Amino acid sequence: MNKKDDPVQQLTAWKEVPADTDFTIYNIPFGVFSTPRRTARVGAAIGNDIIDLSAMQAMGLMEDLELENNLFAQNSLNRFIGMGNDGVNRVRAFIQKLLTEEDSSLREYPSLFVKQENAVLHLPVEVNDYTDFYSSREHATNVGKLFRDPDRALLPNWLHLPVAYHGRSSSVVVSGTGFHRPKGQMLDLHKDPVFRVSSRLDFELEMAFIINRDTPLGHSIDTTTALDHVAGMVLLNDWSARDIQAWEYAPLGPFLGKNFATSISPWLITTDALRPFLTEGPKPEIEQFPYLQFSGHANYDIDLEVSLIPEGGEENVIVKSNSKYLYWNIRQQLAHHTVNGCNVRTGDILATGTISGPQSSSCGSLLELTKGGKKPIKLKNDLKRTFLEDYDTVVMRGQAQQGSVRIGFGPLTGQVLPALG
Ligand code: MN
């Protein structure tokens, strides 16, 4: 039986949450936060609050779980998710129980709840390595047409393997972090190389999964057990300077056009919380090698949205996509990443690649939405965009619903600041 068919137990929290919250009782994501009086530690989100797990453990409220000391008094989730998904699920189920039972001990300690508006959210994990896949067929086709020629949009390897490149972990930043417009080499109108500030700055709508344990060098992870290695997912914005990218990418792929900033959402949505939203993915078009095969639901039905907010302006929803469109799923991505014996480590971030869908409104980047900058998109108040302008803010959202079970990722925001010097 597919795990998706396990009914999700109906839960009702005594803790009030806004009707439209991403952080329902079914979610209970984990993150790292600080407050004016206390440094970064681990918490769980419910509604508009954060439960201070570090304080909870220190007060002895989690003794039944027999956890390692100071597991939550950490500035990253690495040690916590390093327990593996069984351990994380035990903590998550314990929190759900405390939030639903009437005589809960949590009710006696309102100070364990911190309002999210009074907290600063940090990167959820200490990022070891960052890899970016290229797994949406629609995105690869759209970009192939724009960067190369329409007749060979999809390169010959694409249907055989999940194409990827190694990104840079040092510039992975948490939601809310601004970054400066990059400078670099690019071609001018006459196709001569010039050095200047990028004028074709873009976003890429992606999701990413986070690895929960180190594997030994030489070890391969198979598609069957892949999710045991995945702590959960976040939203990811792979900011891209298309002018730099187009000149530099041959023959080794993205470099300075991508590594100046990559934003992720602060809350880790656990693999277990995502389970009710598993769904079928696109059928493979050609027979795949056995190490990439997986029968069963391996895609997630998560609605994704991108908004653009010009400086001082209104929010414009410009993309609506869904992660179910991904041709290569995360099981296949992880199996492929390790098939040669490449090891992974706790805190590694593996991104899906831009998630575009079949509709014109489901293009996950401005490059695609504007046909390479040729057709501006219209915004409210007579504004237009081909690529991002200084002080534009990009907001990404992800939400999933199955019957009464609903979860969300919380917003992923980032603002473009002017180039330095
Ligand atoms: Mn990307």
How does DSSP assign 159-177, residue by residue? Answer: TTS--EEE--STTEEETT-
Instruction: List, in sequence order, the alpha helices (H) in 220-319.
Output: 242-248, 271-274
The alpha carbon of 177 and the centre of ligand 1 are apart by a number of angstroms equal to: 18
| pLDDT more than 70, % of the chain | 98
How many angstroms does the Cα of residue 396 sit away from the middle of ligand 1? 14
Cα-to-centroid distance, 353 and ligand 1 (Å):
4
CA torsion sign for 68, 120, 266, 263 is negative
- Which is higher by pLDDT, 1 or 122? 122
| Cα 212 to middle of ligand 1, angstroms | 22
Q: Cα(117) to centroid of ligand 1, in Å?
A: 30
Side-chain-facing half-sphere of 232: CA atoms under 13 Å:
32
What DSSP element (H or E) covers 366?
Answer: helix 366-369
- Cα separation, 405 vs 407, in Å, equals 7
- Inform me whether the pLDDT recorded for 4 exceeds 60: no
350 with 330: CB under 8 angstroms? yes
For residues 308 and 201, the answer to whether their CB atoms sit within 8 Å is no
Q: Which pLDDT belongs to residue 2?
A: 45
Instruction: Say if residues 183 and 169 touch (Cβ distance below 8 Å).
Output: no
| Mean pLDDT of all residues belonging to the chain | 96
Residue 252 Cα to ligand 1 midpoint, Å, equals 15
Q: Parallel, antiparallel, or unpaired for β 412-417 and 179-180? A: parallel
Q: How far is the CA of 51 from the centre of ligand 1 (A)?
A: 33
- Is the link from the previous residue into 251 a cis peptide, with omega within 30 of 0? yes
Pairing mode of beta strands 120-122, 49-52: unpaired
Question: Which is the catalytic residue, given 139, 229, 336, 337?
Answer: 139
Q: Among residues 274, 240, 205, which one has the least CA distance to residue 412?
A: 205
Alpha carbon of 204 to ligand 1 centroid (Å): 6
Quick: pLDDT tens for 251-308: 999 999 999 999 999 999 999 999 999 999 999 999 999 999 999 999 999 999 999 9
pLDDT for 149 beyond 90: no
Residue 6's pLDDT band (cuts 50, 70, 90): low
Segment 221-258, tens digit of pLDDT: 999 999 999 999 999 999 999 999 999 999 999 999 99
Per DSSP, the chain holds a count of helices (H) and strands (E) of 8, 27
What is the distance in A from the centroid of ligand 1 to the CA of 1?
A: 34
Query: Looking at the predicted structure, is the pLDDT value of residue 192 above 80?
Result: yes
Percentage above 90 pLDDT, the chain: 94
269 contact partners, CB below 8 Å, separation of at least 6: 27, 29, 232, 233, 234, 407, 409
Distance from C-alpha of 220 to C-alpha of 216, rounded to nearest angstrom:
9
pLDDT band at 1 (very low <50, low <70, confident <90, very high): very low
Residue 69 CA, ligand 1 centroid: distance in Å = 38
**One-letter identity of residue 198:** S
Question: Cβ(303)–Cβ(322) under 8 Å?
Answer: yes
Report whether 42 contacts 80 (CB < 8 A).
yes
Cβ 324 vs Cβ 299: under 8 Å? yes
Q: Pick the range with the lowest mean pLDDT from 11-20, 40-49, 119-128, 192-201.
A: 11-20
Distances (CA, A) of 216 to 185, 219, 221, 321, 341: 39, 6, 11, 36, 8
7 has pLDDT over 90: no
Positive or negative torsion for Cα 30, 228, 273, 68: negative
Catalytic status, residue 139: yes
Residue 119, token pair as written in the block? 């907290």
pLDDT at 93 over 60: yes
**CA 403 to ligand 1 center in whole angstroms:** 32
3-state SS track over 86-125: HHHHHHHHHHHHHHHCCCCHHHHCHHHEEEHHHCEEECCC
CA 132 to ligand 1 center in whole angstroms: 6
Which domains does the chain possess?
A: 3-122 (2.30.30.230), 130-417 (3.90.850.10)
Give how far Cα 122 sits from Cα of 78, 119, 126, 127, Å.
Answer: 13, 10, 10, 12
Beta strands in 212-296 (DSSP E): 230-237, 240-241, 262-264, 269-270, 278-279
